[in-house]
Amino acid sequence: MERAYYVTTPIYYISGNPHIGHAYTTVVADVLARTARTIGPAFFLTGTDEHGQKVANAAAAAGKTPQTWCDELVPRWQSLFAAYHVAYDDFIRTTQQRHEHVVQRVFSALRERGDVYLGTYEGWYCVADETFWLESKLVAGKCPTCGRDVQWLSEDDWFFALSKYAPRLIEHYRAHPDWVRPQSVYNEMMALLEEGLEDFSISRSTFDWGIPIPDGSGVIYVWFDALLNYITAIGWSVDDARFHRFWPARVQLVGKEIARFHTLVWPAVLWALGEEAPEIVFAHGWITVEGQKMGKSLGNAVDPFALADRFGADSLRYFLLREAPFGSDFSYSDTKIAQRHNSDLGNDFGNLVHRTLSMLQRYCGGIVPPAGEAPVLERFAGLPLRVRNATLDLRFRESLEAIWELVTALNRTIEERKPWTLHKEERKRELDALLYELCEGIRRLAVLLHPVMPERMEELWQRLGAGTPIGQAWEDAFAQRIAPGTLTTLREPLFPRIDPAEE
Ligand code: ME8
């Protein structure tokens, strides 16, 4: 059985409503999965992280049990992803039995091996980030990530023997300099490794909202529980054949604030279980507001539902991938989204489509004419490979820039070859060839842009009267070409103009 392209997002804490930052990582994973599916099987996992003190506190504040709270919030997260046209293959919830049972099995297996052992923990803890901090890492006595107060905890805990894996981690980092990306995060993690790693507590006895420790008291630490979702969802220890079809994951996407857990702890847990580390962990940058990470707790979160209503989810997907090189932070602004929408989607691409379909109506009754020479398309024959390589290498901006070269070339060919003059001078063969080339060109653009803007591109295929080559290799979709005689439809613009000043 062919190995599948396995891509994951973090599982999100459901301590509140989702914001555009959560949509961001999930949309990126969706674009990767949709692109990977054009060349083979792919599996895309997302979900929710439902245990821990933070979720328990949020539920208590709302006067609900944690389970009721989670059950009520999960549909909100799922509808967010639906609103953003995300097609995941599985949505895992850490309160599901399929997860809880396997996490307990992992705990017991590691205890037997001696990688999980009983000790006493004393130290500083940040509830908001569910993270322990060494005193030396605190900033003015507060959490270095979110700036909030930390608590002193002292309890008998189960520990994971992370320090034992430090030499193997260093070796792995040296042998696979690309396994943590971008480079800045790799360097940061390598520096932490060189400082040395400590064993850390993986149990809690001060509250009970978590997976119970097998044959003991207390619950399993939420991060230990959460990381395991990536393998419980694909059948670790339950269905070996399925597990090995997906693992090791091709790409695990995370925000850079949780790189530490995914690139220092996670591989060690996997090795303790006799499994391989993921191939790539990509720790992307933050969407910021006035220089600060957008987040629920800072009160600067932007409602992703309202945003999708205003701009259209596909336009936002485009913006998120196009705005900054993947990995870097970028600041959120309505004006910037509106400008991108109007210039790239409305003017460049949308006008190309609208002009082509209007000329087709005017000169050919909406019917695709016979093909002739197509010099622009010939020049761009290598585009599928270029776009696929850039996308699967997580260089989304480059990938979109490459597609825009074809958009620009087709717009330019209209200006240069002037179909209106060809029509006036009754040079029918040349006019037909040009209109055919434009129709086929926009069909190809829809093929390449489908992973990024699936709903709008399916609409475009319909207007073109063309089939929907979803999941087909792009080279095959290119080779099929639109049939002369196909009836096209002219409708309202694909990306109607948005007033950037409007609030
Ligand atoms: O950390 N910019 O969950 P979480 C970009 N449950 N991405 C952002 C973002 C922003 N401003 N805000 C959030 C957790 N994200 C744990 C993860 S995984 C085993 C457990 C995205 O709800 C980004 O992917 O705090 C970030 O890492 C994730 O949401 C954090 O979500």
The pLDDT tens digits of the residues spanning 417-441 come to 999 999 999 999 999 999 999 999 9
Residue 360 contacts by C-beta under 8 Å, 6 or more apart in sequence?
Answer: 366, 367, 368, 435, 439, 488, 490
pLDDT digits (tens, 9 = 90+) for 41-84: 999 999 999 999 999 999 999 999 999 999 999 999 999 999 99
Please state, for a pLDDT cut of 70, what percent of the chain lies above it: 99
Distance 492 CA to ligand 1 centre (A): 37
CA of 295 to the centre of ligand 1 (A): 9
- Is 450 within the bounds of a domain? yes
- What lines the ligand 1 site, CB under 6 Å? 10-13, 21-22, 24-25, 49, 226-227, 254-255, 257-258, 286-287, 293-295
User: What is the count of structural domains for the chain?
Assistant: 1
Is the pLDDT at 470 greater than 60, yes or no?
Answer: yes
Q: What is the CB-side half-sphere exposure of residue 370 using CA atoms within 13 A?
A: 4
Cβ burial, residue 141 (10 Å; 0-12/13-18/19+):
exposed
Please report whether residue 413 resides in a domain. yes
DSSP state of 218: S
**Rounded percentage of the chain residues whose pLDDT exceeds 90:** 87
Whether residue 412 lies inside any domain: the answer is yes
Q: Is residue 364 part of a domain?
A: yes
User: Residue 11, Cα to own-chain centre: how many angstroms?
Assistant: 12
If one counts every other C-beta atom within 10 angstroms of the C-beta of residue 245, the result is 17
Res 292: pLDDT: 87
Q: Assess if residue 11 is contained within a domain.
A: no
Question: Considering only CA atoms, which residue is closest to atom 29 of ligand 1?
Answer: 22
115-172 pLDDT, tens digit per residue, is: 999 998 788 989 888 888 888 889 999 999 889 999 998 878 899 999 999 999 999 9
* Predicted pLDDT of residue 289: 86
Integer Rg of the chain from CA: 26
**Would you state the pLDDT for residue 175?**
98
Beta strands in 233-326 (DSSP E): 251-255, 280-284, 287-289, 292-293
- Pocket perturbation via mutation, ligand 1, pick of 8, 9, 12, 127 by most ligand atoms within 8 A of CB: 12
Which 3 state secondary structure label does DSSP give 273?
coil
Check whether the bond before 248 is cis (ω within 30° of 0).
yes
Q: Does 413 have pLDDT greater than 60?
A: yes
Residue at 393 is within a domain: yes
| DSSP H or E stretch at residue 331 | strand 330-331
| Closest residue by CA, ligand 1 atom 15 | 21
For the purposes of burial, counting CB atoms within 10 Å of the CB of 85, is it exposed (0-12), middle (13-18) or buried (19 or more)? buried
Residue 10 CA neighbour count, 13 Å, CB half: 23
Pairing mode of beta strands 292-293, 287-289: antiparallel
Per-residue CA distances from 116 to 14, 61, 420, 501 (Å): 28, 34, 76, 57
Confidence (pTM): 0.94
The residue whose C-alpha atom lies closest to atom 10 belonging to ligand 1 is 21
Residue 94: DSSP 8-state: T
CATH code where residue 441 lies: 1.10.730.10
- Give 255-276 pLDDT, tens digit per residue: 999 999 999 999 999 999 999 9
288 belongs to a structural domain: no
Print the domain residue range for 463. Answer: 334-479
Tokens of 63: 């006067």
Which residue CA neighbors atom 3 of ligand 1 most closely? Answer: 12
How far is the centre of ligand 1, averaged over its atoms, from the C-alpha of 254 (Å)? 7
Distance (Å, rounded) from C-alpha 275 to C-alpha 449? 36
Within a domain: 55: no
